[in-house]
């Protein structure tokens, strides 16, 4: 539940002369949340951060120290002293270069006590893609000639068991999103829990960062804003009934903040607030009336879809325009259709939606969570025993064979292609699938040298 007083940001003070954690007897220890990328290429510049929370009603003065391995960090000193007001938070971050090692790490101590560690897998920096493709596999092989004859390429292949596998793969990647901004906290904490349909998320950090107004800022140090608060409320509202009851207090406070902001907000922002209120069960008829039918022409395609999804009397774009929607827009449309039991229409959009993610999809934006939610709402679960066998052939010779099932719906393999073709001819990769219909395949070809 949200604390009686919300956390406030307190700046680092070099003038503090005390070390250790100071507070009343029986006070709770300071809490720290650490963030670092799960993986990074050699030579990359990355950001590591620590968010320190004082959960007590008394101020705390303390020392902190960061330890880096495999990271060359410049600028901000790795250690210092700080003071935190009651119920306040401090965000500290460092930017470093990843050294040429197999693993890097970032650890933090508070008042001499270990407060957490994050490990970063290090690999060679990937070369830009020379060729990429997204396709549904079948018994008829997908044949990909390599870009140039005589050259060797590294080929990365990811295969998912259709929409069901895409949902699992996306949830897995979202759980690894780094950063301590509110969007990242929602993406790696709330979204995978919603998609799992059963795992209760830890909302302690989000509840702690809720401001006195009831809203959230994009950063823990920032002022509350309607867009970010709508995003948090939308995902809190997607939780199961038991979880929504557990978070009723922060949801009620956030809904009040959004409602106060609605009347004076532009119509585009009102359209984005409505789904948040609707998903959390806090939308009223008066809220829905804030976006009217004649507002449709004033809204962007995304705003129009969100308004309809939130229950406003706004028509959907005509069907002939659905094929031109981008990934976020189509995801919202699929969610809207699925929630209104128009499953045939929702499922008809899934093939195009899956291909829109591209060969190298991102997971640190709003698109990935909305995409995963659309899949969760519309994808048919596989029948028991469903499986597909994917065969990779290079220049006529079978190289690898992998199997995906309902229990393991994602497979990833790396191939080295080239050098076996006759002089002057390009090597060819062939991918085919037998069994389950239409596994989705993403292929990225990079120069090996």
pLDDT reported for residue 274 = 93
Q: What is the pLDDT of residue 198?
A: 63
Q: Cα–Cα distances in Å, from 298 out to 139, 258, 317, 357? A: 48, 21, 13, 28
Q: How confident is the chain (449 residues) per 10-residue block, as mean pLDDT? A: 35 28 61 94 94 92 95 90 91 92 94 94 91 96 94 95 94 92 93 80 86 92 91 90 80 92 86 92 87 90 94 92 95 97 97 96 95 95 92 94 95 89 87 92 94
Which tokens belong to 141? 């092989």
Q: How far are the Cα atoms of 130, 134, 267, 412, 418 from residue 415, in angstroms, in the given order?
A: 15, 17, 51, 10, 10
Token pair recorded at residue 134: 């997204």
Q: How far is residue 94's CA from residue 260's CA, in Å, rounded to a whole number? A: 37
Residue 241: phi and psi, rounded to 5, are -55, -45
Separation in Å, CA 209 to CA 187, 248, 346, 377, 434: 16, 16, 36, 30, 50
- For 407-432, the DSSP string reads SS-EEEEEEEE-S-SPTT---EEEEE
Instruction: Give the residue among 118, 114, 143 at the shortest CA–CA distance from 131.
Output: 143
User: How many CA within 13 A on the CB side of residue 426?
Assistant: 10
Residue 26: what pLDDT? Answer: 56
Contact 3, 209 (CB under 8 A): no
Instruction: Note the pLDDT of residue 13.
Output: 27
Q: Which two tokens stand for residue 337?
A: 């259709």
230 near 273, Cβ under 8 Å? yes
* DSSP state letters, 12-52: --TT----S---STTPPPPEEEEE--SEEETT-EEEEEEEE
250, 224 contact by CB (below 8 A): no
Torsion angle, CA of 17/82/73/360, rounded to 10 degrees?
180
Q: 3-state DSSP call for residue 350?
A: helix
The answer for residues whose C-beta is within 8 angstroms of residue 129's C-beta and 6 or more apart is 359, 360, 444, 445, 446
Q: What pLDDT is recorded for position 19?
A: 29
What is the SS3 assignment for 188-220?
HHHHHHHHHCCCCCCCHHHHHHCCCCCCCCCCC
Q: Strand, helix or coil at 223? A: coil
Q: Write down the pLDDT at residue 286.
A: 87
pLDDT for the residue numbered 363: 94
- Number of other residues whose CB lies within 10 A of the CB of residue 49: 22
Asked whether the whole model's pTM tops 0.85, one would answer yes
Question: What is the token pair recorded at 146?
Answer: 């390599």
| Residue 65: its H or E element | strand 60-69
Q: What is the reported pLDDT for 101?
A: 81
**Distances from the Cα of 106 to the Cαs of 93, 110, 149, 174, in angstroms?**
11, 14, 44, 21
**End-to-end alpha-carbon separation of the chain, Å?**
54
């Amino acid at each position: 539940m949200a604390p009686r007083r919300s956390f406030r940001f307190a700046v680092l003070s070099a003038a503090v002369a005390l070390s250790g954690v100071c507070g009343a007897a029986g006070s709770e220890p300071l809490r720290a949340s650490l963030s670092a990328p799960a993986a990074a290429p050699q030579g990359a510049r990355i950001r590591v951060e620590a968010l320190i929370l004082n959960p007590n009603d008394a101020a705390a003065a303390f020392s902190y120290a960061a330890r880096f391995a495999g990271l060359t960090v410049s600028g901000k000193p790795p250690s210092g002293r700080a003071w935190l007001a009651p119920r306040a938070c401090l965000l500290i971050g460092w930017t470093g270069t990843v050294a040429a090692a197999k693993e890097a790490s970032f650890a933090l101590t508070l008042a001499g006590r270990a407060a957490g560690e994050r490990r970063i897998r290090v690999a060679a920096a990937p070369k830009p893609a020379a060729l990429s493709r997204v396709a549904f596999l079948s018994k008829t092989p997908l044949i990909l000639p390599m870009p140039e004859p005589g050259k060797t390429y590294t080929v990365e292949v990811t295969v998912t068991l259709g929409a069901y596998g895409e949902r699992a793969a996306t949830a897995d990647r979202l759980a690894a999103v780094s950063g301590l901004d509110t969007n990242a906290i929602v993406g790696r904490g709330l979204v995978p829990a919603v998609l799992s349909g059963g795992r209760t998320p830890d909302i302690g950090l989000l509840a702690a960062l809720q401001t006195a107004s009831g809203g959230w800022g994009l950063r823990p140090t920032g002022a509350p804003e309607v867009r970010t608060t709508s995003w948090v409320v939308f995902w809190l509202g997607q939780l199961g009934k038991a979880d929504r009851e557990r978070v009723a207090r922060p949801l009620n406070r956030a809904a009040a903040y959004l409602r106060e902001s609605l009347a004076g907000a532009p119509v585009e922002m009102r359209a984005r607030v409505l789904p948040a209120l609707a998903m959390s069960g806090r939308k009223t008829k008066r809220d829905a009336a804030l976006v009217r039918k004649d507002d449709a022409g004033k809204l962007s395609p995304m705003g129009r879809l969100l308004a309809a999804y939130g229950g406003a009397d706004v028509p959907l774009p005509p069907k002939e325009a659905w094929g031109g929607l981008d990934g976020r827009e189509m995801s919202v449309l699929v969610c809207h259709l699925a929630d209104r039991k128009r499953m045939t229409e929702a499922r008809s959009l899934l093939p195009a939606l899956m291909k829109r993610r591209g060969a190298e999809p991102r997971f640190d934006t709003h698109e990935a969570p909305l995409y995963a939610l659309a899949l969760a709402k519309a994808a048919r679960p596989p029948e028991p025993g469903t499986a597909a066998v994917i065969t990779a052939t290079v220049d006529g010779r079978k190289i690898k064979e992998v199997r995906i099932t309902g229990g393991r719906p994602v497979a990833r393999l790396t191939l080295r292609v080239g050098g076996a073709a006759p002089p002057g001819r390009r090597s060819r990769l062939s991918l085919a699938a037998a069994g389950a219909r239409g596994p989705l395949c993403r292929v990225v070809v990079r120069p090996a040298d």
